[in-house]
A = this chain, B = another copy of it.
Amino acid sequence: MLLQMLDYLGVAVFAITGGIVASRKQLDIVALLFFATLTGIGGGTLRDLLLGVPVFWVENEWYLLVCFVVSALVWYFAEWIEKLSKPLRWADAIGIAAYSVMGAAKALTVGDTILVAILMGVSTATFGGILRDTIAREPSSIVKPEIYVGAAFAGAGGFVVLVQLGAPQILAAILAASCALILRGGAILRGWTLPGHRIGTGSDPG
Contact = CB atoms under 8 A, between A and B. Distances in A.
Interface stretch (A5-13, A135-143, A163-171): A135-143
Interface string A19-40: 0001111111111111101100
Interface string A126-147: 1000100011110110110101
Interface in A26-56: 26-35, 37-38, 45, 49-52, 54-55
B75 A197 contact: yes
B199 A23 contact: yes
Contact of A150 (B31, B115, B136, B139): B31
A143 B134 contact: no
A1 interface: no
A193 interface: yes
Contacts of A32: 197
A28 B145 contact: yes
Question: Is chain A's binding surface mostly helix, strand, loop or mixed?
Answer: helix
Contacts of A148: 31
A193 B26 CA distance: 11
Interface in A74-102: 75, 78-79, 82, 86, 88-89
A176 interface: no
Contact of A193 (B28, B54, B58): B28
A201 B112 CA distance: 44
A32 B198 CA distance: 13
A51 B134 CA distance: 24
Contacts of A140: 135, 137
Contacts of A122: 34
Contact of A119 (B64, B130, B196): B64
A197 B34 contact: no
